[in-house]
Chain A
């Protein structure tokens, strides 16, 4: 499996076979939000730029944007997720995936943090 990368805004992205990239939010982000109540997914086919909001996640505390870690087209969304937000806590890097993006430029991912650098970021 290809290496997972992280944005400073706590999304993860993992290159998949076939040139797609799966996107979710980190375990740290899920734990920091707590008490998730609502998730807004983008429509399939939407084009996003890296750093642009592709959806929202709401906890009892606040609403947070989910930012695209890479530019590209949304080709698939995890439509079941908004009705089972617990999955984000139990399996944030697996069943808790949020969207699949067809990246405009896969090399864009090299600018993101690797696991070690991300772990250091959230510990600091």
Chain B
């Protein structure tokens, strides 16, 4: 168990490798209740979010989720990345009031909430931190949806299995009211389920029991990290930091600089981000594959032809591949796929090659 942003969490329940492979081959379940969950509701919600997030919110449909960055216009670059987040438009309230749910990183929750509160309009918006009174369970892997659907009525099960990626719905899971989204952080198919905190242990146990015959394993932070690393997903504090150029780390997809109808959007740091997009970044995010199992760790220097060209941001054995991989920020000139590099692991050079991200892609991604 480790202290993770103030949450006491298991690195592993059994073995990182076993948990990782269970998620790739069957189903893994993760207690991700540490992630910050915010509710944003009110007639002003659309316009307010549209004015704050790097992703367009104006045209988001009910039941749709988008990956976005939360930025301020502070800092030497004219933009500071406060966090990456998932914004979901939930079904409107009975009286027609729009409602959104936002999931942020545990480590950034306090400052994101403080930032959002500092931007609240005088009226028409309610921002509530729901982290403590809800729990979030990620169920991931090829058998994840089937496992959760066992615990739902026919209508809910049909709706959940029919959800597209980055789509969300309300359902009763194990008899408990839940927000279910076809999202995750593993590179596998799966869902994330938010339930009332009081029901968390019962829902966890029900999913655990429903998955037992399918090879389900509960998974800790260790497997969560190796899974997202293989899937080439950045992690705030590692690949993505406050001063990052999102375009240099492959997060252009989280940037809607312009409105759908054309013309610039207005959100904090937008113009600085537009300058970053137009410029060539000095360093870009790459994948490195090693021959050995020995992992480079964050901060390991990368050397090409005797020259220091960058450093590792995350590294581990890739359990699905059987060798070590790493993500690194490297000088653009040496970032081409196929480039040979030495990574200094505890001062010992380990041979690596630049490879395309992600390292792992699931065999038959659904549409």
Measured CB to CB, the residues of A under 8 A from B are 34-35, 37-38, 56, 58-61, 63
Contact = CB atoms under 8 A, between A and B. Distances in A.
A35 B294 contact: no
Contacts of A34: 12, 14-17
Query: Chain B interface mostly helix, strand, loop or mixed?
Result: loop
B293 interface: yes
A37 B16 contact: no
Nearest to B12: A34
Interface residues of B, number: 18
Contacts of A60: 16-17, 222, 226, 295, 316-317, 319
Contacts of B307: none
A35 B11 contact: no
Nearest to B17: A35
Contacts of A63: 297, 346
B295 A35 contact: no
Contacts of A61: 11-12, 16, 222
Given A37-B293, A60-B16, 9 more contacts: A34-B14, A34-B17, A35-B17, A38-B292, A58-B294, A60-B226, A60-B319, A61-B16, A61-B222
B12 A37 contact: no
Contact of A58 (B16, B295, B319): B295
Nearest to A56: B346
27 contacts: A34-B14, A34-B15, A34-B16, A35-B15, A35-B16, A35-B317, A37-B293, A37-B294, A37-B295, A37-B324, A38-B292, A38-B293, A38-B294, A38-B295, A56-B346, A58-B295, A59-B16, A60-B16, A60-B17, A60-B222, A60-B226, A60-B295, A60-B316, A60-B317, A60-B319, A61-B222, A63-B346
A31 to B, nearest CB: 10
B317 A37 contact: yes
Contacts of B222: 60-61
B252 to A, nearest CB: 31
Interface string B1-26: 00000000001101111000000000
A20 B14 CA distance: 37
Nearest to B319: A60
Contacts of B15: 34-35
